[in-house]
Structure 1
C-alpha cells in the first residue's frame, strides 16, 4: 500500500486500469481517508480534470475515475447528502489533506467569496465542515487554458462569483417514460436505468464546472460521457472501461435512437441549460464585469462545435436534439442576454444624463406621431388608444428621468397590459409574438422620423431603441414560456429547430428574421458610440 488507507499499489493499479502513476500519486498526496467526513463526487472529479489539464494527461470519464478512487482508497462508501432538490453524491470517509494546496486555495477563495456575496448566494460557498466536506468551488486558478482561444477567468473566480447565482441547484429529473413502447433489441430496463444515472452525474458535473467558471472543462465532460475517441479505431476500453461495464457503448448508441430516451434527454437539457443561464446571468440589467461577459460569450461561441465534435460517433437523432435544438438555443440565449446586459449599461449612462434627456424630449416633441400612427395602423392595426397611451407614458417617464430599473418596470407593465386579455388562453403565445412585431415596427417608424429630421439625440434614441426592443423580446420570451409551462430555453429550442407547430410559413420567416435581428448586435454602432466587449 502507498499509505493513508491506500489499498492497492501504484504499479498494480496501473496494470489493471491503465491509470497514470502520476494520477495515483496525486490522489495519495492530496486526499486521505477519515471517519465522519465526506467529499462531493463531482468536486473530486473536477479536481482530477484540472490535474490532467495541468499534467497534459488524457482524463478518463467520471465512472472510470470512480473506479480508480475506490481502488486507491479501499472501503469508501457513497452517500447522497443535502436537502431535497439540492442533494449530491458524496464519497463518505474521504477528505482533502491539511497539507494539500487544494485545501489552502479553497479556504482562501471561500473566505473572500463569503465576504463579497449577498446572503442569498452563500448557499453553495460553505466553509469546510466535518460532514459536508468540500464545497463545489474548484477554481484552482493557476491554469492558463488556451483551448479554442477561450479566455480563462477561473483564477479570478472569487472576483466574479459574486455576480453569479451560485445558490441554484439542478432540479430532480423524472424517470424515463417508456409510454408503452417496446424496448429496442438488446436493451433491458437495467440499461435504461444506467443511462439515467450516468446522465444525471454528467449534468451535475457540468453544473459544478460552470459555477466555478471552468468553461473549457465542459468540452472534456462531453467527450467523456459520449465516449469520444479520436483514434482511428473504435476501441474505447482504455478510457471508458467503467462506463462500458455500467452501460456498454453499443447500448448507448441504440438508446440514442430510442424515442423515450430522446424525449427525456431533451427535458433534462432544458432544465440544465435554463439553470445555467440563470446562474451565469441572474439579472440581465445588473452590471457585469467585461471579463466575465467576454468569457461567457466566448463559451457560447464554442459550445456547439465542442458538443458536435464530442458526439462524432453518436446517432444523428440524438445529435439533432442535443445540438441543433437545445445547445443552439443555449448559445443564442447566452449571446442575447450578454448583449442585452451590455446595452443596459450603455443606456444607463444616457438615462442619467440630464442634458441628453432634455434633448431627447425636445426632439421627441417634433416627431409627427400622427403620421407614424397612420402607417402603423395600416400595416399592423395598432389601436389608436393604446398607442397614444404608450406615447404619453414614454414622454412622462423620460421627463421624470427615471432609472433603468424603472424603465424596465414600465416595459414589463406594457407587456402585461397588452397580454392581459389572453391570460390563460392558448392564443397567448401567438398574441405575444404579434405584439413584438408591432412594437418593432412602430419603434422603427419613430426612429425613421428622427433620422429624417437629423435629430441631435438620434444616437441616444437609437441606443434606447435597441435596448427596449431587446428587453421586450426577453419579456415576451418569458411570458410565452410561462404560458406553455416550459422553460425559455425550451421555447427558443423550438425556434432554433424550426418546430413552431401549425403556424404558417410566413410567420416562421418573420419570427426567424426577428430573432436574427435581435441576435446580430455584435460590434460598435457609429451613432451611439457603443462598443460591444
Structure 2
C-alpha cells in the first residue's frame, strides 16, 4: 500500500510524454531504501504500475543501439522531489559523457537537405554555435520530454487574402501557391527541430528557406537543396513576393501562429518547475534568434525582413519573460512553503498603513475604496491560509476576472486591462515602500513575492487582451514590438495612449536583478539566502 501511495504522490498521467522504465524502477528502489522496505523485482513492479495507472503503454524509444523501453503517457509530478533528482542525474550524465557523444543530434524526418539532423556542410556552423555557448541538449531529449508539450501540431494557417490587389509583374497564382506550400513545410520543420530541442538547426532551416549563399560556400549538398527549392519557386519570384503586401501580412500571421505554438510546447505551464539546463537552453535560443534570422535573410527585401524580425523578436521576448517568470515562481515557492516566514510577513503586513497607501494612490489611480479594501483583506486571508503557489495563481486570476468583468465584449477591454496593470504595479510599489520605511523583517520575501505577482499579472493580462482581440499573445506583443521599432507612438487599441513604454519599464530591470540575487535554492542549503536583503531593514 505504501508503494501505491508513493506512485500516486509522485507520478501522474499526461498526453505526449514518456519516462524510461528503468528510471522508474530506480526511483522505486531508492524509495524502498529510504523507507527500509523490501523491494519487488522489476517485473512485479511493472505489474504494480499498470494496476495503479490503468491503460499505460510501453514504447521503445531512442536511437538505434541505444533505445530503452519507456512508459508512454506518464510523468513526474511538478511538486515531487524526484524532479530535482532527475536534474541531478542529468548533470552527472552530461559530465560523464564523452565529448563526441554530447554533440550527437537526433535525426529529424521532415527537414529537407539534412543528414542525421544536420544540413550538409553545416558541421563548421555547429562548432561555431557551440563555441559561442549554445548548449545542445537534444541528445537528452527523452529526459526533458516530460517538461514539454510534444503532442502539439502546427495549427492551420489562414487563407492568403489578395484583397483585390493586382499580382506583381512576373508573378502567377501558381507562384503564390508554391510559396504557401514551401512556407508550411518550412514551419513544420521548425516545429520538429524545436520539439527535439535541436535549437541550433533553426538557423540552418532559415538559411535553407531564404536561399542564403555564402560567397565561399561551394558545398554540393547545400546547392542541391537550393536547386530543389529553385524548381518549385525561383528565387527572383521569392524576392518579388517578399515585397507584396498580401504575402507580407500572411507571413506575419503564420509566424505568430507558429511561434505561439512553440511557446506552448517549450513552456506549457509557466509555474511548473523546469530543469535549469532546459531553462538555460531556451534562454540561449531566444538570445540567438534575431541574429540568426537577420543573417539568413541577408539578401531578402527589407519589407519582409522587418515583418519576420518583429515576430521573432516578440517570440524571443516571450521566451525570456516566461523563463524568468518560471524562475521567480520556483524561488517564491520556497518562501510560500516556509511557515515561519509567512507568519513574519503577516505580522509586517498588519503594520502597513493601508489607509495612507490608498490616500496617496487614489490621487493617481482613482480606484474605489471598496475594491482596494476587498483586495487587501483577500490578500491577507490567502497569506494566512498558507496557500500553495497554484492557489495564489488562481486568486490572481480571479482578481483580473473581477476587475475586468464590466469591460467584457467591449472595445475598451484592451485599454482597461493595461490600465489595471499599471494601477496594480503602482499600488504594490506603494506597499513595498511602506514596508521599506518600516524596516520590515520580511522585506526581502515581500519583494520577491511582489515581483512574481507583478510578472504573473502581466502574463494574465497579456492573454486576456489577446483573447479579447481574437489574436495570439505573440501577435499582441508583436504590435508593441513593431511600435517600438518605428517612430509611431500610437496605441493600436485606441487613441495616443503609450502603454509599451510604461509597461516595459515596470518589470524588466527587476527580473534581471532577481535572477542574480534570488537563485533557485539547492536542496542541501537553507532557504535563508532567498531573503538576504532582510538584514538591510534590521540594520536600518
TM range (shorter): 0.7 to 0.9
- 1:114 paired with 2:72, answer yes
TM (norm. structure 1) is: 0.73
Please point out which of 369, 374, 389 is paired with 2:359.
374
For 2:254 and 2:529, the matched residues in 1 are separated by: 41
Larger deviation, residues 156-165 vs 228-237: 228-237
Cα deviation for residue 517 of structure 1 reads 4.7
Whether the aligned pair in 2 keeps the contact of 1:470 and 1:518 (CA below 8 Å) is no
Partner residue, 1:296: 282
Partner residue, 2:157: 173
For 1:316 and 1:113, the matched residues in 2 are separated by: 49
Please point out which of 145, 156, 162 is paired with 2:140.
156
- 1:250 paired with 2:236, answer yes
Please point out which of 269, 294, 301 is paired with 1:283.
269
Aligned residues: 414
Please point out which of 387, 391, 394 is paired with 1:402.
387
Cα deviation for residue 179 of structure 1 reads 1.1
1:325-348 deviation digits (Å, cap 9, x = unpaired)? 211110000000000001000100
Cα deviation for residue 512 of structure 1 reads 4.1
For 1:197 and 1:522, the matched residues in 2 are separated by: 44
- 1:197 paired with 2:163, answer no
1:228-258 deviation digits (Å, cap 9, x = unpaired)? 1121799995551111111111111110010
Whether the aligned pair in 1 keeps the contact of 2:259 and 2:474 (CA below 8 Å) is yes
1:396-441 deviation digits (Å, cap 9, x = unpaired)? 0000000000000000000000000001001010000000000000
Partner residue, 2:491: 500
Partner residue, 1:419: 404
Cα deviation for residue 117 of structure 1 reads 3.9
For 1:475 and 1:518, the matched residues in 2 are separated by: 19
Cα deviation for residue 277 of structure 1 reads 0.2
The answer for unaligned runs of 5 or more in structure 2 is: 1-61, 78-107, 484-489, 520-527, 532-540
2:132 partner SS:
helix
Cα deviation for residue 175 of structure 1 reads 2.8
Cα deviation for residue 139 of structure 1 reads 9.6
When residues 378 and 234 of structure 1 are mapped into structure 2, their CA distance, relative to the original with a 3 A threshold, is: farther
For 1:353 and 1:478, the matched residues in 2 are separated by: 31
For 2:339 and 2:427, the matched residues in 1 are separated by: 26
Cα deviation for residue 360 of structure 1 reads 0.1
Please point out which of 210, 214, 222 is paired with 1:226.
210
Partner residue, 1:513: 505
Partner residue, 1:131: none
The answer for unaligned runs of 5 or more in structure 1 is: 1-100, 120-133
TM (norm. structure 2) is: 0.72
1:424 partner SS:
coil
Partner residue, 1:214: 198
1:524 partner SS:
helix
Whether the aligned pair in 1 keeps the contact of 2:328 and 2:448 (CA below 8 Å) is yes
For 2:109 and 2:398, the matched residues in 1 are separated by: 40
Cα deviation for residue 500 of structure 1 reads 2.8
Whether the aligned pair in 2 keeps the contact of 1:140 and 1:155 (CA below 8 Å) is no
Cα deviation for residue 148 of structure 1 reads 3.2
Partner residue, 2:336: 351
Residue pairs, 1:266-277, within 5 angstroms: 266-277=252-263
Partner residue, 1:188: 172
For 1:518 and 1:226, the matched residues in 2 are separated by: 38
When residues 220 and 529 of structure 1 are mapped into structure 2, their CA distance, relative to the original with a 3 A threshold, is: farther
Whether the aligned pair in 2 keeps the contact of 1:113 and 1:158 (CA below 8 Å) is no
Whether the aligned pair in 1 keeps the contact of 2:451 and 2:511 (CA below 8 Å) is no
1:63-97 deviation digits (Å, cap 9, x = unpaired)? xxxxxxxxxxxxxxxxxxxxxxxxxxxxxxxxxxx
Residue pairs, 1:469-480, within 5 angstroms: 469-480=454-465
Cα deviation for residue 114 of structure 1 reads 2.4
For 2:385 and 2:327, the matched residues in 1 are separated by: 24
When residues 337 and 469 of structure 1 are mapped into structure 2, their CA distance, relative to the original with a 3 A threshold, is: same
Partner residue, 1:31: none
Whether the aligned pair in 2 keeps the contact of 1:335 and 1:519 (CA below 8 Å) is no
Whether the aligned pair in 2 keeps the contact of 1:139 and 1:212 (CA below 8 Å) is no
Whether the aligned pair in 2 keeps the contact of 1:139 and 1:155 (CA below 8 Å) is no
Larger deviation, residues 187-196 vs 169-178: 169-178
For 1:494 and 1:113, the matched residues in 2 are separated by: 43
